[in-house]
Amino acid sequence: MGDEFYSSIKLITGEEIFSLVFIDDNDNDPVIVMQNPVILKFITGTSGQFIKIKPWMELPSDDFYMVRMDKIITMTEISNEKIIACYNAFLENDEDDIEKYDSREETGKVKITDNMGYISSVKEARRQLENIFKKDIDIKDNKES
């Protein structure tokens, strides 16, 4: 096994993946082993440039994936510290960690209920709006008379 390094990989499917990788060349059939592969998308907006990061594979909970060399068009080592820092921050903030901080007792936050933010039901709101509309029509009719 070789050394680990951060890499951008272009697959024959057209996907571009960023990952911590190492090359396993056992039995003269080398494979790339990717740890926590993600898809990076650079977005430029009016307030600057941003990086959107999402997992390469959404459902599996595995951290390691192997890809044969014949499925790779090209790959390059990435040494940009900002991109690596964003990647590592993304990995540290995965959904398993979010549940740890969701405890209401520790944060003092109020638990959201189904009724929060609702002033009335749809039927009640419709009735009130219809009454306002009818009163507005009555006022216009009286002014015209």
The model's pLDDT over 86-129, given as tens digits with 9 standing for 90+, comes to 888 888 876 544 343 344 445 566 666 666 666 677 888 888 88
Selected residue with higher pLDDT from 112 and 132: 132
pLDDT score, position 23: 87
Q: Which of 93, 112, 29, 81 is nearest to 55 (CA)?
A: 93
pLDDT score, position 112: 65
23-76: pLDDT as tens digits: 888 777 888 999 999 998 888 888 888 888 889 988 877 889 999 888 999 999
Does 49 fall in a domain?
Answer: yes
Does 144 fall in a domain?
Answer: no
Does 76 fall in a domain?
Answer: yes
Does 135 fall in a domain?
Answer: no
21-35: pLDDT as tens digits: 998 887 778 889 999
pLDDT score, position 99: 40
Does 61 fall in a domain?
Answer: yes
pLDDT score, position 110: 64
Question: What SS3 state is found at 5?
Answer: strand
Residues 99, 93: Cα–Cα separation, whole Å: 10
Residues 8, 75: Cα–Cα separation, whole Å: 6
What is the value of pTM for the model shown? 0.58
Expressed as residue numbers, the domain containing 31 is 5-99
CATH of the domain at 14: 2.30.30.100
Does 107 fall in a domain?
Answer: no
Selected residue with higher pLDDT from 77 and 145: 77
Residues 65, 32: Cα–Cα separation, whole Å: 8
Does 128 fall in a domain?
Answer: no
Does 121 fall in a domain?
Answer: no
pLDDT score, position 136: 74
How many domains are contained in the chain? 1
Two structure tokens written together for 145:
């008379």
pLDDT score, position 101: 38
Least confident of 96-100, 134-138, 140-144: 96-100
